[in-house]
Structure 1
Amino acid sequence: MDTTIFPKNFLNSLQDEPGFDPKDFIQAHQNTPSPTSIRLNPFKPADINTGGKVPWCEEGYYLDERPSFTFDPYFHAGAYYVQEASSMFIDHIVKYIKPADVDIKVLDLCAAPGGKSTLLSSLLNAGDLLVANEIIRTRVPVLTDNLNRWGRSNTIVTNNDPKDFNHLKGFFDIILVDAPCSGSGMFRKDPAAMREWSEANVNLCHQRQERILADVLPALKEGGYLIYSTCSYSRQENEDIADWVCDNFGLESIVIPVDNRWGITVSQSRRHQASCYRFYPGKIIGEGFFVTCLRKTANSGELPVYKNNAQQKLPATEIAQIKTCVNEPEEYYYFKVNDDWLAIDRRHKESLNILHKNLYIKKSGVRIGTIAGKHLIPDHELALSTLINNNVFNETQLDYDEAITYLRKDNLNISAPKQGWSLMTYQGLALGWAKLLPNRVNNYYPKELRILASAPKAGN
């Protein structure tokens, strides 16, 4: 077996890690390709060819081969998300800990590009609230785009440092911290990650992980759950972090049931015997992953009472027009940001005000559009959302070639009996808007999302 493909001292650093089998590990990295897996959007059913089932995630599937996702209209419509199978174990954890009859607030702290946020979104009811935060500003747009494709209206995207959540004492019921790490779990999928690995970087990541958790844990309510994960195999970044939060923040371990047939390694932290879950290529069909779930037993204080008495003075005629675009319109709170109309479940109005006071918000609910004169200019978010009232808008069904032309933002040559704004759809799923005129079609697909790549050659 060739061990020289790994960074110096890497294999030696794993010798005492729970469940590590060097023979299986090396063979998996040398001889087994990284599997491709997707997670279906339960709110946008589509006829998608899949392979085997990801055993710990109801909507997760392996693909027999990796297609060109860029040239799949289903992908752009938000019918599925391309996600690494091991990380879908978050689905199993949340289903186990989530209360059935109580509305909850969930924070995904390090959310971009959006895999775990869209997973959480799939598990939440309309009365639940998801806050997807990304620390790095340049990564926020891709997070927002992926959540827009997923289509839910109970989502807020923020761009804040973990310390900014300090002010939200006990606000969240579940906090997911998929922490920045040394990345050894991605060596097979991304061999370039090997060049970044070192024992010094592991120690640096450990310190950073402690700082992130110390900053955000005051925002977790007493009795709430922390889900902590990495794509690292190093104990310093995993079990040792579980012990550290138990020592310093009054958390206790939650045992998540695991089927022995899944191949997941169940480990324990040294001091508090916190239950932890490790994923090794060669034992599972997926990449390297670590996760633990802990419940907070201490109280970080109460969120100050915040009353927002300043109400926007909004024109009733515009509100009435906006409501026609939405299914069950009385269930939503409507507000404006500059000239844009937005909607969010009315149960989240107070939470939105609190978050707006404390955080930098990049997306809240669904952007409906703007009113120009007496007419609505619909937004792309509305087209992809699950709250849209399809009875209000014309719909133009596109075949595959027409859908790709539309997604390239090229000129469409189609004949349509009805003029005006039209929802462009593929196999019943919305892709975006176009305006149908007597002699042309104005393509309103967002230019920043358009397909730029060349089509794959036949047989590739």
Structure 2
Amino acid sequence: MKNAHFPVNFLESLQNEPGFNPTNFVEAHQNIAAPTSIRLNPFKKTGVKLDERVPWCAEGYYLNERPSFTFDPLFHAGAYYVQEASSMFIDTIYRYIKQPEPVKVLDLCAAPGGKSTLLSSVLATNDLLVANEIIKTRVPILADNLTRWGTSNTIVTNNDPKDFERLPGFFDIILVDAPCSGSGMFRKDPDAMTEWSEANVNLCHQRQERILADVYPALKEDGYLIYSTCSYSHQENEDILDWLCTQFNMESIRIPINKEWVVVETQSAAKQAWGYRFYPGQVQGEGLFAACLRKKESAEDPASFKNNNNQKVDKHELELVRNYITEPENFYFFKVSDDWLAINNSHKESLSLISHRLYIKKSGVRIGKVAGRDVIPDHELALSTIINKEAVLQTELEKDQAIQYLRRDNISINTNNKGWSLMTFDGLPLGWAKLLPNRVNNYYPKELRILAAAPQTKIV
């Protein structure tokens, strides 16, 4: 990004921001390429070895160069997520405030899913993650990324922040990665420079206040709010913390950090609330602001709901689908139209409550449809961490075969097996195919297939 042309008044607006070093900042944007980083899925281990860790995230790693992730089958299997390194700081915050008892977590502005998959990595089975996206057109990519991650304790919703007042005191932790002016992404996305202005900063500040005020009732007393932006402007960062502490009497939480990270610890002007700034040229990552606060006001009684849904269960169908799940006694099985789904038993009541008060896009794991004596398995089941692999055929693919499969091309396999098969690469499932005597029917979802031409670069 040589000869970066910053917006008018942009650098001047940052002169008094905490920890801002204009020389390092300009140098980073003009002469230092944005680093490439990934976060491994702890539930889908592979033999890939990586060396340079992202210091503030347990599963985060830097890569020496940016490969074509599109043509890495492990990416499609959900073995890792490509995520900007600074944003992985949410891992440090969550691990510090983590509670021993089961928690309900809301990621309010979740698409495309980086922070949701991060939270999913550190949540226990009895914890619940609700990943919400406000913009309808962005919900599918969020659902797809969480499907790849494979966990069963997740619900994806598409609702406005104000809708969550229907769930008073429901969540123990709420993450608001707020829409912002985007100055922290200038190096990664130069087009963001054309959208920056002081007027837009002020507009974003107002939007952030509205979003936070709308979702605040859904946070329980003594619950935690994690707030983040990819902006450097104090109006969207420290000023928001002062507003939260004044408007709602929230308590600021100081997060322990290592000085070697070169993360700038700040305090807001009025309430001395703690915040954490990441600057390119000082950290190996892009721009980020993050903070954590605790709700001290008493909340309404937690949302409750009496479940009167006595869904009639076809015992024959239920027995068929249970065979596809590891430890089925730990799951609640239910139908949506003709599809069978499963979610952890501990989340049955939460699912009932949320389904009656919000719009749900995805819940738990979709297993598939029953047709006669057979189950037509769903793609979600293939990528889930709860699939009973002993109950299904598995076909291991070479790299070229895996790419053909992911393109939804015809593939040739030397096998005497017949029927539905889990197609795997490096032991990780990619999806389903049906093996027939003289051909293979490829059931990889059309909307997910690789369309681009293959490059020649290696992944690692």
TM bin (shorter chain):
over 0.9
Equivalence for 2:12: 12
Q: Distance in 2 between matches of 1:3 and 1:457?
A: 30
Aligned residue for 1:145, secondary structure, equals helix
2:27 matches 1:27: yes
Task: Give 4+ residue runs of structure 1 displaced > 4 Å after superposition.
Answer: 457-460
RMSD value, Cα: 1.2
Per the TM alignment, residue 49 of structure 1 is displaced from its structure 2 partner at its CA by 4.3
State whether residues 168 and 219 of structure 1, in contact with CA within 8 Å, keep that contact through their aligned partners in structure 2.
yes
SS of equivalent to 2:391: coil
In 2: Cα distance, 1:436 partner to 1:393 partner = 12
1:253 and 1:274 in contact (8 A); partners too: yes
Spell out, residue by residue over 1:251-272, the C-alpha distance to the aligned partner (whole angstroms, 9 max, x if none).
Answer: 1000100000001000001111
Change over 3 Å in CA distance of 1:459–1:170 after alignment to 2: closer
Which residues in structure 2 correspond to 1:179-198 (within 5 Å)? 179-198=178-197
Query: Which range moves more in the overlay, 2-11 or 64-73?
Result: 2-11
* 3-state SS of paired residue (1:224): strand
CA distance in 1, matches of 2:330, 2:138: 32
The aligned counterpart of 2:394 is: 395
Distance in 2 between residues matched to 1:13 and 1:3, nearest whole Å: 20
Task: Kindly indicate whether the alpha-carbon contact (under 8 Å) linking 1:165 and 1:219 is maintained by their aligned counterparts in 2.
Answer: yes
Q: Deviations over 1:142-171 (max 9, x none)?
A: 000000000000000000000000111110
User: CA distance change for structure 1 residues 4 and 326 in 2, over 3 Å: closer, same or farther?
Assistant: closer
Map 1:378-389 → 2, pairs under 5 A = 378-389=377-388
Partner of 2:425: 426
* Deviation per residue, 1:13-39 (Å, 9 max, x gap): 001100001111111111110000000
Q: In the alignment, is the contact (CA less than 8 A) between 2:67 and 2:458 conserved in 1?
A: no
Paired position in structure 2 for 1:171: 170
Rounded Cα–Cα distance in structure 2 between residues aligned with 1:333 and 1:36: 40
Aligned ranges for residues 352-367 of structure 1 at < 5 Å?
Answer: 352-367=351-366
CA-to-partner distance for each residue in 1:263-318, whole Å, 9 max, x for gaps?
10000011111110000001100000000000000123113531012210010111
Identity %: 67
1:62 corresponds to: 62
Q: Does 1:268 find its partner at 2:267? A: yes
Native 8 Å contact 1:394 1:423 kept in 2? yes
Please give the secondary structure, in 1, of the residue aligned with 2:57. Answer: coil
Deviates more, 1:208-217 or 1:414-423: 414-423
1:76 and 1:381 map into 2 onto residues whose CA distance is 12
Q: CA deviation at 1:51?
A: 4.1
Question: What SS does the aligned partner of 1:250 have?
Answer: coil
- The answer to whether the 8 A contact 1:167-1:303 is kept is no
- 1:145 and 1:357 map into 2 onto residues whose CA distance is 23
Structure 2 gaps, min length 5? none
Q: Is the 8 A contact 1:413 1:440 kept in 2?
A: yes
- For 1:425, what is the secondary structure of its paired residue? strand
SS across alignment from 1:430: strand
Which one-letter code corresponds to 1:196 in the other structure? E
Change (3 A) 1:363 1:65: same
Does structure 1 conserve the Cα–Cα contact (< 8 Å) formed by 2:252 and 2:292?
Answer: yes
Q: 1:340 to 1:259 in 2, by over 3 A?
A: same
Contact 2:395/2:424 (8 A) holds in 1? yes
Q: Distance in 1 between matches of 2:360 and 2:146?
A: 14
Indicate conservation of the 8 Å contact 2:169/2:303, yes or no.
no
Find the residue that maps to 1:391 and give its secondary structure.
helix
Offset from partner CA, 1:353-379 (integer Å, 9 cap, x none): 110111000000000000011110000
Superposed CA deviations along residues 122-159 of structure 1, whole A, max 9, x for unmatched, are 00011000000000000000000000000000000000
Q: Give the equivalent residue in structure 1 for 2:305.
A: 306
Gaps of 5+ in 1: none
Secondary structure at the aligned position of 1:423 is classed as: strand
Name the stretch that deviates more: 412-421 or 298-307: 298-307
CA distance in 2, matches of 1:310, 1:38: 42
Query: Shift of the alpha carbon at 1:48?
Result: 2.4
Contact 2:108–2:133 (CA<8 Å) still a contact in 1? yes
Map Cα deviations across residues 102-125 of structure 1 (whole Å, 9 max, x no partner): 000000000000000000000001
Deviation of the 1:3 alpha carbon: 8.1
Partner residue of 1:120?
Answer: 119
Q: CA deviation at 1:381?
A: 0.2
What is the alpha-carbon distance in structure 2 between the residues aligned to residue 358 and residue 305 of structure 1? 11
Between Structure 1 and Structure 2, how many residues are aligned? 458
* 8 A contact 2:3–2:30 mirrored in 1: no
TM-score when scaled to structure 2? 0.98
Question: Does structure 1 residue 137 correspond to structure 2 residue 122?
Answer: no
Contact kept? 2:4, 2:30, Cα under 8 Å = no
Aligned to 1:406: 405
The answer to whether the 8 A contact 1:153-1:366 is kept is: yes
Instruction: Give 1:19's aligned amino acid.
Output: G
Task: Answer yes or no: is the 8 Å Cα contact 1:51–1:64 preserved in 2.
Answer: no
Equivalence for 2:38: 38
Contact 1:3/1:26, CA 8 A, preserved across alignment: no
